[in-house]
């Protein structure tokens, strides 16, 4: 069974530039999550989708971050414009459903903002 795929694996940009990350969840998984992990911290949930609807985006900085999950499969997370404090690893995860299901994580995208 293929795992959660993410690209790119690494990205370096200047502040005020824009960047986009892509995630392809495990086939059949209805729920998709985007997390931000700052060095030395645990991951923090940014946004959670159930199929193509948003379940929770309470911690997403909506003035600069946006995410979509068209057709309920792949998802993209965008930052525009980026700030220095956005330097982090962005992790995508998926689960079969919501009810207590195990979450499976992708390898992450390491973003460095200079």
Partner 1 sequence: KQEVTQIPAALSVPEGENLVLNCSFTDSAIYNLQWFRQDPGKGLTSLLLIQSSQREQTSGRLNASLDKSSGRSTLYIAASQPGDSATYLCASGGSNYKLTFGKGTLLTVNP
- Residues of this chain that interact with partner 1 (CB under 8 A) are 4, 6, 33, 40-45, 48, 55-56, 91, 93, 95, 98-108, 110
Closest approach, Cβ 111 to partner 1, in A, equals 13
Q: How far is the CB of 11 from partner 1 (least distance, A)?
A: 14
For tokens 């502040």, the residue is 15
- Judged by beta carbon, residue 77 or residue 108, the one nearer partner 1 is 108
Closest distance of CB 107 from partner 1, Å: 4
Report the residue number, 5 or 17, with the smaller CB distance to partner 1.
5
In the complex with partner 1, the residue whose CB is nearer, 35 or 82, is: 35
Q: How far is the CB of 85 from partner 1 (least distance, A)?
A: 18
DSSP letter string, 13-73: E-TT--EEEEEE--TT--EEEEEEE-TTS--EEEEEEETTEEEE-TTS-TTTEEEE-GGGS
């Amino acid at each position: 069974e293929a795992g959660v795929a993410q690209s790119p694996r690494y990205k370096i940009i200047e502040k005020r530039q824009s960047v986009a990350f892509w995630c392809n969840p495990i086939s059949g998984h209805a729920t998709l999550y985007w997390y931000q992990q700052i060095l030395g911290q645990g991951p923090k949930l940014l946004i959670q989708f159930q199929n193509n609807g948003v379940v929770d985006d309470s911690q997403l900085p909506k003035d600069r971050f946006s995410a979509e999950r068209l057709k309920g499969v792949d998802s993209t997370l965008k930052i525009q414009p980026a700030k220095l404090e956005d330097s982090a690893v962005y992790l995508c995860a998926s689960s079969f459903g919501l009810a207590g299901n195990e979450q499976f994580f992708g390898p992450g995208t390491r973003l460095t903002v200079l």
